[in-house]
Amino acid sequence: MRHATLSKRHPCCDPELFRRYDALYRGGSAFRKAIGSFLFQNPLEPAEAYQLRKREAAYRSYVGPIIDFFAAQLFSSPFLVRATRDGETQAPDPFYAELREDVDLAGTDLVAFMKARFTTALVKGCSWWLAELPDDGGLPAESRVDWEARGLGRVRLCPLEPEDVLDWECDDDGLLWVITHKREMRRDDPRTERAVVTETWRIFDREAVETFQVKYDPKQRKLNPEDEIPSLGAVPHRFTRVPVVCMRLPEGLWLMNRAADAQIEHFRLSAAMGWAIKRTCYPMAVFKSKDPEKPPVTGAGYLQMISTEESFEWVSPSTASFDILQNEVAAQKDEIYRIAQQIAASVNNSAAALTRSGESKQADMAATEICLHAYATEVKEAIEETFELISDGRGDFDVTFSIEGMDKFNLDAVTVTLTNIQTAKTLGIPSPTLHRELGMKAADLLLPNASQEVKDLIREEIENAEVQTSHPTPSTETDEEQSSDDASEDAQSSRPNGSDPSLN
């Protein structure tokens, strides 16, 4: 197949955009390598000055920690994979429990794998992964026992970077085909150099996968659009559909795409302010002498004596422009957090920030929770699709999967929530169920790092414990006794400093 045909890209596949967004998220050396695409050379600016300006520019990533916050919060909420057959819940094959603990045969559990895929989707708008069955060597299993013994049903999941998924097509039943690409320079022999480039294209359809590959020395050859890429052959992938899953976020949930402009503008403004400060924000000593032919001698230990017609002063540039830059930098930082529905985190630790009302902070957390629930819907659908794909590849066509949970997020401050729980328990609400739920909530807050096994045990103990609801104790004082107490308090308060009359 022609190189140009294999390398055609889908309109949604923009590798340059993906690289820019990845640099904004990762920062550090990744951003430093791509800094030229964020900080442009000014008109008539000397090349040496531009290179120095790029070296001295410092990037502060705010959108990266925000993305990590959403990923951490979302996957801190546990979820359950439930298998059903003919509408009845059943214990799935032990393979699926093993899969949850190791999805890629490298020790990565399902939570860590999906968390990484979700993070990629927040950065690049989508995330792809591939399901693979072991190669049967062209010899199908003779029986289920032989199939199990040869491990032919051990599916593994492989992540795919969005820029490596070149093109695809869909119909009413889902993906019709997918083309992936991989470029690498291997060094199989330590006595040789990394001189040979290997480029591999794979075309997945609903029955088979065909591989195209070419190897070449980039110093001696470059691939041309008309070059023919040889095929290594097509083999059945043994799934009933294209074995590729895509989690594509809606436009409104693509966090990096929403916050990128504000993050880039923040970087450019802060870089401009830093450059201006380093170049001009230094006071200069100016001596106005009536005899310029005899300038004063200056230095450590010298005493200056000037006449009435002379003066000595320090001259520095106006700070008005720096104030404007500083205010705009702070505004862009706030805009990043506002976009991410994290208003509370964007406010500086000033007096105004510390006086924000509880209602405002609750509104911030409510907005964040709405986003988390929307993200949870996308993630759970992707996990369900993955398990359906795997079960079909294993021949479990009568088993369906559903994902439950991922709906409770600990966004409140621990002390505030515990105080609210304690207050709720003293209201005397006659509901054992309410008191059990409050106890479970308190346990989760007090033991955030406990294992799921310990949390399940605590929950079971709370559910089995006998709960006694407290009721407010009614007052037993009569009206006369209450009136007498009120009169006594009035008399006591009428004395200066509450003095005792017996001491006078």
| pLDDT tens sequence across 103-114 | 999 999 999 999
**In whole angstroms, what is the distance from residue 504 CA to residue 500 CA?**
7
Pick the range with the lowest mean pLDDT from 214-228, 239-253, 345-359. 345-359
Residue percentage of the chain with pLDDT more than 70? 84
- Least Cα distance to 392 among 192, 133, 219 occurs for 133
pLDDT of 306 over the 80 cut: no
Q: H or E element: which one contains 71?
A: helix 63-76
Looking at residue 444, what is its pLDDT? Answer: 79
Determine the Cα–Cα distance for residues 180 and 166; give it in Å rounded to an integer.
6
Mean pLDDT computed over 327-332: 81
Helix axes 255-280, 320-339, angle to 10 degrees: 160
Q: What's the pLDDT at 162?
A: 98
Q: Answer whether residue 213 shows pLDDT above 80.
A: yes
Residue indicated by tokens 């209201």: 427
Tell me, what amino acid is at 269? L
Report pTM.
0.76
Lowest mean pLDDT among 115-124, 247-256, 312-321, 421-430: 312-321
What does the block give as tokens for 475? Answer: 């007052």
Q: Read off the pLDDT of each residue in 168-173 and give the average, rounded to a whole number.
A: 95
Note the pLDDT of residue 346.
34
Give me the pLDDT at residue 280, please: 77
Least confident of 8-12, 279-283, 466-470: 466-470
Check residue 182 and give its pLDDT.
97
148/481: higher pLDDT: 148
| Statement: residue 484 has pLDDT above 80 | no
The greatest distance separating any two alpha carbons of the chain, rounded to the nearest whole angstrom, comes to: 114
pLDDT value of position 362: 61
- Cβ contacts of 267 within 8 Å, gap of 6 or more: 38, 39, 57, 59, 60
Q: Name the more confident of 376 and 138.
A: 376
- Please check the confidence at residue 351 and state whether its pLDDT lies above 50: no
Burial class (CB in 10 A: 0-12, 13-18, 19+), 76: middle
Tokens read off for 484: 């007498």
Residue bearing the bigger pLDDT, 382 or 467: 382
pLDDT tens, position by position, 397-430: 888 999 999 988 876 656 667 787 888 888 888 8
End-to-end CA distance of the chain: 112
| 403 vs 396: CA distance, rounded Å | 18
Angstrom CA distances, 172 to 15, 130, 158, stand at 27, 20, 25
Amino acid, single-letter form, for residue 110: L
Higher pLDDT, 177 or 353: 177
| Helix/strand/coil (H/E/C) assignment for every residue in 135-175 | CCCCCCCCCHHHHHHCCCCCCEEEEECHHHEEEEEEECCEE
